[in-house]
Amino acid sequence: MDQNAVEVAGLTKAFGGVRAVEKVSMKVPVGQRRVLIGPNGAGKTTLFNCITGTFTPTSGKIFLFGKDVTRLAEHRRTAMGVGRTYQITNVFHDLTVLENLVLAIQGNSRQKWVMHRPVNAFSDSLKRAGKELDRVGLKDRTHDSVQHLSYGERKQLELALALASQPRVLFLDEPCSGLSPGERQRIAEIIKEFPRDITLILIEHDMSIALGLADQVSVLHRGSIILEGTPDEVRANPEVREVYLGKV
Amino acid sequence: MILSRWSLLLCVVAAALFAPLYLGPFWLSLLMQILIFGLLALSVELLLGHIGLFSVCQAAFFAVSAYTVAILQVKYGQPTIVAVPAGMGAAIILSLIYGIAVRTSGVYFILVTIALGHVFWGISWTWVSFTNGEGGITNVPAPAVGSLVITSHSSYYYIVLAVVALCVLGYRTLTRSPFGLTLRGIRESESRMRGLGYNIAAHKYTAFVLAGTLSGIAGLLYIYFNRFVSPANAEFFLSIEVALMVLVGGTGTILGPFIGSAIMLGLRNYVSAYIDQWMIVMGLIFIVTMLWTPDGVLGVIRSLGIRGKTSHNQPGHRTRTPEEGK
């Protein structure tokens, strides 16, 4: 048994003639914090969607904790410990913050099938929801409807939802996009405080935040990984600067 | 506010309990229809208001249980005690089969349920040797348990009232449960629910079968009320009419479908006294509802209430602005 939380081997995903991800191979050991960087259209989100199960890859294999999950349904991968957030916030707008959290908590338990007792009777879930909201700083918004939350608060809620499903490996798709510098810093602080035993894989455009969080960085360009290394190595690499910042 | 809500509920319960004492036969019969079709509308509401699935085949489940009872009692001389569970079972089996519809969504779900509803209607219309075709099955006996025969309208009213009340309580429990919350989560974002570990199809399918069962219960109440069933009870037109009840009353509440049922049945009785073209009137109600009051009567009342409160709203709460939508 190798100790890779995620292993991707020769993964290709094509949409018609466009190969969004081409022959990508990557190993992320358990507990590592891996950041994916790359210009827009590099295939980062597509790679995410393949690993979490939203898309079925055109070819190649995906392993989670040593198990081949290439053809496994998305909700089953979640049950194996995969959590994720979305680039465009994907939360439940017409429900309260607390209800959002309860949905995340009961997702991996039999509780979601209970029909004869009210949600309020599950004090364990409510307690855990409160704890997660505390962690991301949304405690005072518990009973508000999500549509009254600011964009930054929704991003925080995204993180709380992902954490509440108790993932072993967490995929964060641009957790800071669209936020002000101050809000970004706040999100980065929250992510830093995540338990170290959760393997983190995140996409981030803000280089200072990305490199500040990463143990290891993978650089994607036109669907392929062109470099893997520590933040310092990546920072020093002239090719990355050219690709990522664009040649003028 | 809480006090007035409880006293209102108490008044409604008292009014319902003593209805046979002060209502004449016509009004009592109308009230029973409102309750029965309100229950049928509630099954539409379970799918529409919670998962956002617009089902147009609830009449099929309604009719299958009514037909099963009628055929067993009239053609095979079976007692009520056999016919009712059989009718219930028929509705459940049909909804287990028709549940495949949840594999589709949006417009395709609507189209598939129209087709499925039509299949059942077609069977009831053309299988003459079994269903009597267009003529339907008449002379269904009054419900009886042993030597106790419920012949009078007013005693049957209490059965309808009790069954509807039980269903409403069950519905209320269901929608407040983790399962109910799951359904609302699916309505809000299927992709997120999948990402949180939910098997969306399994939850939709279960809800669809529950809704079909509820429609079947309404069908059981109806057959012993009407003592006659025909293909008209399985028609697409009936499915649309109950869906309209939900829209007119307002989605997202238990009361909505019953208010919608009262408005629609009341109007139909009133209008058909003057003209035959109820369909035209119904079409107009549909259009007016969709264009101007998509949240129904209750939605209008609620928005009036909110408007009244904005003068002293709390800090930190804003009203929803258009760009905040999904």
| Per-residue confidence band for B228, with pLDDT thresholds at 50, 70 and 90 | very high
Predicted pLDDT of residue B310: 45
Q: Which residues of B touch A73 (CB under 8 A)?
A: 199
Cβ–Cβ below 8 Å for A117 and B193: no
Predicted pLDDT of residue A68: 92
Contacts of B318 (CB under 8 A, 6+ apart): A148
Residue B203 sits at the chain A interface (C-beta within 8 Å): yes
How far is A158 from chain B, CA to nearest CA, in Å?
10
Alpha carbon of B117 to those of A39, A150, B56, B283: distances in Å? Answer: 51, 44, 7, 20
Alpha carbon of A207 to those of A214, B93, B127: distances in Å? Answer: 10, 58, 72
Exposed/middle/buried for B240, CB within 10 Å: 0-12, 13-18, 19+? middle
Predicted pLDDT of residue B306: 63
Pinpoint the residues of chain A covered by CATH 3.40.50.300: 1-81+170-248
Predicted pLDDT of residue B217: 97
- Model confidence over B14-40: pLDDT tens digits? 888 888 888 888 999 999 999 999 999
Place of tokens 């709460």: B317
Predicted pLDDT of residue B269: 85
How far is A104 from chain B, CA to nearest CA, in Å?
6
Q: Which residues of B touch A108 (CB under 8 A)?
A: 196-197
Predicted pLDDT of residue B326: 36
User: Does residue A38 have a pLDDT over 90?
Assistant: no
Q: How far apart are CA A37 and CA A212, in angstroms?
A: 13
Q: How far apart are CA B299 and CA B247, in angstroms?
A: 10
Q: Which residues of A touch B173 (CB under 8 A)?
A: 115-118
Contacts of B270 (CB under 8 A, 6+ apart): none
Residue in B51, B171, B175, B181 to test binding to A, most A beta-carbons within 10 Å? B181
Check: CB of residue A166 under 8 Å from CB of residue A108. yes
Q: How far apart are CA B156 and CA B9, in angstroms?
A: 23
Q: Which of B174, B188, B325 sits opposite A95 (nearest CB)?
A: B188
ipTM: 0.83
Instruction: Count CB pairs under 8 A between chains A and B.
Output: 106
- Model confidence over B36-72: pLDDT tens digits? 999 999 999 999 999 999 999 999 999 999 999 999 9
With both helix axes pointing from N to C terminus, report the angle between B236-249 and B296-309 in degrees, rounded to the nearest 10. Answer: 10
- Model confidence over B173-198: pLDDT tens digits? 999 999 999 999 999 999 899 989 89
Q: How far apart are CA A216 and CA A213, in angstroms?
A: 9
Q: How far apart are CA A189 and CA A52, in angstroms?
A: 25
Q: Which residues of A touch B324 (CB under 8 A)?
A: 147
What is the arithmetic mean of pLDDT over A100-117? 90
- Model confidence over B279-302: pLDDT tens digits? 788 888 888 888 887 777 787 777
Percent of chain A at pLDDT exceeding 70: 97
Predicted pLDDT of residue A208: 83
The chain A residue lying nearest B325, using CA atoms, is A147
Residue B134 sits at the chain A interface (C-beta within 8 Å): no
Q: How far apart are CA A56 and CA A72, in angstroms?
A: 9
Give residue ranges of A with CB < 8 Å to any B CB: 52-54, 73-75, 78-79, 83-84, 86, 90-95, 99, 102-104, 106-108, 111-120, 122, 144, 147-148, 161, 165
Tell me the three state secondary structure of residue B99.
helix
Reference B238, options B265, B263, B208; nearest CA is B265
User: Does residue B313 have a pLDDT over 50?
Assistant: no
Give bridge partners of residue A14 from the DSSP assignment: A19
Predicted pLDDT of residue B195: 86
Predicted pLDDT of residue B20: 87
Higher pLDDT, B164 or A186: B164
Higher pLDDT, A58 or B286: A58
User: Could you tell me which CATH class the domain A1-81+170-248 is placed in?
Assistant: alpha beta
Q: Which residues of A touch B181 (CB under 8 A)?
A: 95, 99, 102-103, 106, 119
Q: How far apart are CA A248 and CA A99, in angstroms?
A: 49
Residue B166 sits at the chain A interface (C-beta within 8 Å): no
Give bridge partners of residue A11 from the DSSP assignment: A24
Q: What is the CA radius of gyration of chain A?
A: 18
Predicted pLDDT of residue B316: 36
Ranges A115-124, A144-153, B246-255, B268-277: which has the least confidence: B268-277
Q: Considering chain A, what is the average pLDDT of its residues?
A: 88
Reference B185, options A166, A30, A105; nearest CA is A105
Predicted pLDDT of residue A212: 86
The chain B residue lying nearest A141, using CA atoms, is B316
What is the arithmetic mean of pLDDT over A60-84? 90
Predicted pLDDT of residue A245: 60
User: Does residue B212 have a pLDDT over 90?
Assistant: yes
Exposed/middle/buried for B309, CB within 10 Å: 0-12, 13-18, 19+? exposed
Contacts of A194 (CB under 8 A, 6+ apart): A163, A170, A200
- Model confidence over A118-169: pLDDT tens digits? 898 898 999 999 998 988 888 899 899 999 998 889 989 988 998 898 899 9
Higher pLDDT, A47 or A3: A47
Predicted pLDDT of residue B37: 96
Predicted pLDDT of residue B9: 86
User: Does residue A101 have a pLDDT over 50?
Assistant: yes
Predicted pLDDT of residue B325: 36
| Per-residue confidence band for B157, with pLDDT thresholds at 50, 70 and 90 | very high
Q: Considering chain B, what is the average pLDDT of its residues?
A: 87
What is the arithmetic mean of pLDDT over B166-174? 95
Q: Which of B184, B189, B197 sits opposite A75 (nearest CB)?
A: B197
Q: Which residues of A touch B320 (CB under 8 A)?
A: 147-148
Q: Which of B178, B324, B325 sits opposite A112 (nearest CB)?
A: B178
User: Does residue B109 have a pLDDT over 60?
Assistant: yes
DSSP letter string over B113-148? HHHHHHHHHHHHHH-HHHH-GGG-B--PPPPEETTE
Place of tokens 């589709």: B104
Percent of chain A at pLDDT exceeding 90: 32
Q: Which residues of A touch B50 (CB under 8 A)?
A: none
Q: Which residues of A touch B189 (CB under 8 A)?
A: 90-92
Residue B288 sits at the chain A interface (C-beta within 8 Å): no
Distance of CA A20 to the CA centre of its chain: 19
How far is B211 from chain A, CA to nearest CA, in Å?
14
